[in-house]
Amino acid sequence: MSKGKIILASSIADIADAIKREIESIPQKRALFIRTAAEAEEGDKWWLDKDRKALADAGLEIKDYTLTDKSKEEVKSILKAIDVVCVGGGNTFYLLEKMRACAFEELISEFMTNEKVYIGSSAGSIIAGPDIYPAYRIDEMKKAPSLTDYKGLSLVDFVVMPHWGSDYFRELYLGERLSHVYDHPENKIILLADDQYILSIDGWYQIKNV
């Protein structure tokens, strides 16, 4: 598990005021907004832009970024000038595939030992845990054909299942996800509603309502 402050949400935009409070004490607020997971999604990505705006409104100085086709050295270099890493939503499996290609797991672990901040939204929250397989969705997995395992970043020791209670995700949860998760009891699961977030500091965590 990681040092530093970790904020995990279903949607950053839905907890914007809470994020502003949680990052108030950070002297510099240079943030990297990683949009990689959304590259595998089709249609209008209004939800991604909404998250970005919420981060800017919270006082963060945003730099948009993708991990796709980046080397380890490139990512390491940019992280040196960053205080907050924000990982947006989209396809969790595609995101993991691109993270693996640039050794992001190693780099984010080093980044967090310097007591920095990680903010996750949806896929960005799922991938912070030890295993993304509970986020099972067969069509999403097909977009990351090179993955041979589904180990996450292990910044926390639980797996976030975002958008709990959302009508939009109801069919996914009742039709696929919950039955799949039930067959894998080794994972500690947190069902997270859109109006909640998880604050984790040095392995201690709390679920908060907004």
Residues marked as catalytic: 122, 163
Half-sphere exposure of 106 (CA within 13 A, CB side): 9
Q: Where are the alpha helices (DSSP H) in the chain?
A: 16-22, 46-57, 72-79, 92-101, 104-113, 123-126, 138-141, 170-172, 178-182
The angle at the Cα of 208, spanning 134 to 8, to the nearest 5 degrees, equals 45
Query: How far apart are the C-alpha atoms of 179 and 145, rounded to whole Å?
Result: 24
DSSP state letters, 23-43: TTT-S--EEEEE-GGGGG--S
